Amino acid sequence: MKKLIMSVAALMSLTASFVACKKSDSSTVINNPTPGSYTSLFGAYSDLAPKSKTVIINAISGGSFYGNSGTRYEFQPNSFQTLSGTVVTGNVDIQVLECTNNADMIFGKMLTMSDGQPLISAGEISLSASQGGVAVNIRPGKNYTVSLPTNRGAATAGMYFFRGASTESYAGTTTNWSITKDSLLSIIYDGDTVRMTPDSTGNSNVDKFSSAGFASVDVKLTGVTGAINAKDVMTYYVLEGYMGVASMPTANFSANTYSSSAILKLKSHLVACCIYNGDFYGGILSSVSPTDGTTYTISLSKTTPAALKVLINALK
């Protein structure tokens, strides 16, 4: 048993222990919770979701600005039109929300998944534009530039532009990403940034699929005294060394275990959280190299969503 103790925002202490599951893995246990009365898991997420930023630009002259994560946006002159096709003049409100780390992707429910397949990402954004409270669109033939700061996975060659469609699924993602192999939307690698050039508002992402293949594993959750409701639990695998978060399918969850879950054969951190008897539980199992037929155990402890987010942000 090896222990690592550190202070996290004066809220909690962290102990790293080793759990044997056909091999040795490092399991993070979170202690010293703040009691709560949570009624839903995603309700517990809401206060920690990434925040949007709204700026005003002149539609005729265009303009540029930075989002909350350091992402730069550049709009050409005369880039907007009304829903009926009229060129917009005057000021336009631009609202942007960014997910440029794995914790924001989890708590913002914008996982890097395309029709259930995990993706390696360089960053996600959601952008809307309006004038006087009425939505406006990007004009045909116009693009805007989004320059994402280089992050884990951001400089990986072979990435494409993905569009995201919002869904109402409870299973951990509200966005499904679809690849767009349009040469006008190609990804540009430029020193410390990765650039994409969307031609519409909505959700945009820089991603690629992995060729690593999948392992069929079981993931067991311990640390609660009874059965966890499938709708009150989420377990993710966070790719080590990259940006990329995928969820375990809740349909396979029984007796606090995900059975025969297919996860990428890439070294990962397994992150789990749940609501049980009104309290928030979380745990992390690191250094997982997925192997067929292996059972991985995540030890859950009472904690707070904020404390868990700090730990996810610290994962490398």
Q: What is the pLDDT of residues 46-91, one digit of tens each?
A: 889 999 999 999 999 999 999 999 999 999 999 999 999 999 999 9
Q: What is the pLDDT of residue 175?
A: 87
Report the distance separating Cα 103 and Cα 2, nearest Å.
Answer: 26
Domains annotated on the chain, with CATH: 7-32+213-314 (2.60.40), 50-209 (2.60.220.30)
Tell me what percent of the residues of the chain surpass a pLDDT of 70: 84
Question: Residue 16: is its pLDDT beyond 50?
Answer: no
Cβ count within 10 A of residue 10: 5
Q: Which of 272, 268, 253, 260 is nearest to 215 (CA)?
A: 260
Q: Which of 128, 116, 110, 46 is nearest to 243 (CA)?
A: 110
Decide which of 124 and 174 is more confident: 124
Decide which of 36 and 160 is more confident: 160
Side by side, which strands form the sheet with 193-196?
63-66, 72-75, 144-149, 193-196, 188-190
Element containing residue 272 per DSSP (H, E): strand 268-276
Helix, strand, coil percentages for the chain (3-state, nearest 5): 10, 50, 40
Cβ count within 10 A of residue 309: 20
CA dihedral in degrees (75, 76, 82, 86; nearest 10)?
170
- Collapsing DSSP to helix, strand or coil, 255 comes out as coil
User: Average per-residue pLDDT in the chain?
Assistant: 86
Quote the tokens at residue 264: 């990428």
Q: What is the pLDDT of residue 305?
A: 94
The pLDDT tens digits for 106-155 are: 999 999 999 989 999 999 999 999 999 999 999 999 999 999 987 655 55
**Under 8 Å between Cβ of 236 and 271:** yes
Report the distance separating Cα 201 and Cα 195, nearest Å.
Answer: 16
Q: What is the pLDDT of residue 168?
A: 63
Question: Residue 13: is its pLDDT beyond 60?
Answer: no
- Residues 254-272 have a mean pLDDT of 95
